[in-house]
Amino acid sequence: MSQTLTKVSFIPRFFGAFGQFFKYLSNGDYAARCLAVGQGEKLAFEVEPNVITEEVEVIREIEVAAPALASVNTDGALQLLQLLQQEARFIDFVQESIDAYSDEEVGAAARQIHAGSSKVLAQNFTLEVVNPAPENTSVTIPADYDAQQIKLEGRVEGTGPYSGNLIHSGWQVTDIRLPQVSQTQSLSILAPAEVEV
């Protein structure tokens, strides 16, 4: 209790009784309150607060840091960009603003880029899914799962194992067949300028 009642001495009670009489007589709400107190009901500040305790399970959020590379093979990255430009004109597409083109025109260009990019991937990489289960099916993830291979989303509670719905199977590279290049000085030229004479 943060507040207590102070007893009233006789003289204030004597004169106050007349005022309370008329107030009791003229105010039904006040009379009801006085009647409730007279029957032993306590005022709000006299009642001990009802403390409610509830156990709340801690929700653990898992953040996986992006892998840090000890070294960067820029030759491989430039070679891949060259192949995507040659087969799909990929750089032309992403470097050009498409705001002025209609959805139909962008869709037609995307079809060519899709075909060329698929060819580059098929010729130079072997790709496999990380989780072979069909998408939109229920899967169980063990507690000691590899966070680089599996990303948990939603409310991750406890330490696992976890049950959830597979929303994407993931991709991993199992073989790389990029052609060997002996002269790497010119790899920064992704596509030569073309001049018609």
29 and 79: one domain? no
pLDDT higher than threshold 70 for residue 61: no
Q: What is the DSSP letter of 135?
A: T
Statement to judge: residues 120 and 163 lie in one domain: yes
170 pLDDT exceeds 90? yes
This model's pTM is above 0.75: no
Q: Which pair of structure tokens corresponds to residue 62?
A: 């898992």
pLDDT at 1: 56
Q: Looking at the structure, tell me whether residues 117 and 28 fall in a common domain.
A: no
Q: Computed over its alpha carbons, how large is the radius of gyration of the chain?
A: 38
> Is pLDDT of 62 > 70?
no
Q: Is the pLDDT of residue 124 over 90?
A: yes
d(C-alpha 150, C-alpha 12), whole Å? 78
> pLDDT tier at 169 (50, 70, 90 boundaries)?
very high
Quickly state the pLDDT bin for 47 (edges 50, 70, 90): confident
Are 94 and 16 found together in one domain?
no
Q: 126 and 82, same structural domain?
A: yes
Lowest mean pLDDT among 65-69, 100-104, 133-137: 65-69
Asked, for residue 62, whether it belongs to a domain, the answer is no
Same domain, 138 and 92: yes
The residue segments making up the domain with residue 167 are 74-176
Q: Does residue 161 sit in the same domain as residue 103?
A: yes
Taking residues 112-140, report their average pLDDT: 94
Does residue 119 fall inside a structural domain? yes
Residue 118 lies in a domain: yes
Whether 96 is in a domain gets the answer yes
How many structural domains does the chain have? 2
Residue 68, pLDDT above cutoff 80? no
Does 85 map to a domain? yes
Write phi, then psi, for 186 (nearest 5 degrees). -95, 5
Lowest mean pLDDT among 26-35, 67-76, 94-103: 67-76
Residue 53 lies in a domain: no
Same domain, 31 and 83: no
CB 170 within 8 A of CB 129: yes
Q: Would you state the structure tokens that stand for residue 179, as one six-digit string?
A: 């052609």
- Say whether both 82 and 163 belong to one domain: yes
Contact criterion met (CB below 8 Å) for 91 and 84: yes
Average pLDDT in the chain: 84
Report the pLDDT value the prediction gives residue 59, as an integer from 0 to 100.
Answer: 62
163 and 118 belong to one structural domain: yes
| pLDDT of amino acid 2 | 58
**32 and 83 inside one domain:** no
- Which residues lie across from 176 on neighbouring strands? 125
Tell me the CB-side half-sphere exposure of residue 181, using CA atoms within 13 A.
16
Asked if residue 183 belongs to a domain, the reply is no
Residues 100 and 159 placed together within one structural domain of the fold = yes
Banded model confidence at residue 131, pLDDT cuts 50, 70, 90: very high
